[in-house]
Amino acid sequence: MAKADGQPQNDLNDSLKPDRNLAMELVRVTEAAAIAGGHWVGYGDKNRADGAAVDAMRKFMDTVRMNGVVVIGEGEKDEAPMLFNGENVGDGTGAEVDVAVDPIDGTRLTALGYNNALSVFAVAERGTMFDASSVFYMEKMVVGPEAAEMVDLRLPVKQNIHLLGKALNKPVSQLNICVLDRPRHEGLVREIREAGARVKFIMDGDVAGGIAAARHNTDVDMLLGTGGTPEGVVTACALKATGGMIQGRLAPTDDDEKQKAIDAGLDLDQVLTTNDLVRSDNCYFAATGITDGDLLRGVRYYNDRIVTQSIVMRSKSGTVRTVEAEHRTEKWPEWLPER
């Protein structure tokens, strides 16, 4: 079957899907956001750091060959200069995609100079990312591929931890369970310790914590606890490439959120899987370290160069690349202003 101009229909459809070349374009975007935002690490001003990262991300993202719509951004249109939900991004050509962005996952971490701040960018085929607008929080569990078929969010914490130890062939006493340091997790922390495992607290940035739990070269074995639903979708994009698993259950904070979920046709008792959060098997994830962390090293600034470390993932091929890059400082004057 062909269109009137003679282009075969299957070729036309293929041109609207993301291809492998997109992966390296995405990392250029996260590198730019990390370089701009990382300039403000430790200065105590998270808004200025985030603003710099947003400006850089938007400018570089508009050079990417894609026809993207932000479905997970930083807010609504009237909250500019944020990258808002519904914003069209990319150069308008190429693949039609859903886009999830966080110029700085961990603005407070950046402002205070703490670990695990990242710049994050995820892409999937149009219409395949879970709509995270109804309920902001969800219970989460993330593990690597070894334990993906053994644990279940519906089981007691102690049982999941012992199943994790069996899957990893590690004593429970050597397991590190990553948890956001929040008052709401006091009971969870107690259960983890009573099960015999160790707790690894993070202040913010559970995208980094979740991906670290699914990677073989970190000291994080599992992520547990309640965090942002948008971050859960972003994490799922990465896990599509690593073979890890995320399970989530929506956690409304009040009756209004419950009603929004019901109106959206969502089942609050359902355990959402990786495939529920991102239905496409053709998605991409890129992240660049802003501060040092479990997943990546932070940006390094020298007189003549800037050094970044990034991770790039493509689910279709199951490829995970670590990208070390040097950038000549003289080429980045717009993003390295005098303080």
Judged against a pLDDT cut of 60, whether residue 64 lies above it is answered with yes
Tell me if the bond preceding 81 is cis, omega within 30° of 0: yes
Res 2: pLDDT: 46
Judged against a pLDDT cut of 80, whether residue 247 lies above it is answered with yes
Judged against a pLDDT cut of 90, whether residue 242 lies above it is answered with no
Judged against a pLDDT cut of 90, whether residue 95 lies above it is answered with no
Res 3: pLDDT: 46
Of residues 309, 287, 291, 289, the one with CA closest to residue 112? 291
User: Strand pairing of 283-289 and 305-314?
Assistant: antiparallel
Q: Which residues contact 221 (CB under 8 A, 6 or more apart)?
A: 143, 144, 164, 168, 170, 175, 176, 177, 213
Res 339: pLDDT: 57
Judged against a pLDDT cut of 60, whether residue 157 lies above it is answered with yes
CB 117 within 8 Å of CB 203:
no
- What does the pLDDT look like over 196-231, one tens digit per residue? 999 999 998 889 999 999 998 899 999 999 999 999
- What does the pLDDT look like over 252-267, one tens digit per residue? 999 999 999 999 999 9
Judged against a pLDDT cut of 80, whether residue 175 lies above it is answered with yes
Say what percent of the chain tops pLDDT 70. Answer: 91
> Position of tokens 């962005």?
101
Confidence of residue 268 (pLDDT cuts 50, 70, 90): very high
Q: What is the arithmetic mean of pLDDT over 169-196?
A: 97
Amino acid symbol at 17: K
- What does the pLDDT look like over 108-151, one tens digit per residue? 999 999 999 999 999 999 999 998 888 999 999 999 999 999 99
Q: What is the arithmetic mean of pLDDT over 284-303?
A: 95
Res 177: pLDDT: 98
> Position of tokens 């940035």?
205
Judged against a pLDDT cut of 50, whether residue 80 lies above it is answered with no
User: Strand pairing of 222-228 and 300-301?
Assistant: unpaired
Average pLDDT of the chain is: 90
Judged against a pLDDT cut of 60, whether residue 297 lies above it is answered with yes
User: Which of 154-179 are b and which e, b meaning 16 or more Cβ less than 10 Å from the residue's Cβ?
Assistant: eeebeebbbbbbebbeeeeeebbbbb
Structure tokens at 60: 């570089």
Res 243: pLDDT: 87
**DSSP characters over 87-134:** -EES-S-SEEEEEEEEEEE-HHHHHHT-S--EEEEEEEETT-B---SS
Q: Which residues contact 131 (CB under 8 A, 6 or more apart)?
A: 71, 264
Structure tokens at 236: 């799922």
Amino acid symbol at 67: N
- What does the pLDDT look like over 2-61, one tens digit per residue? 444 555 554 445 555 666 678 889 999 999 999 999 999 999 999 999 999 999 999 999
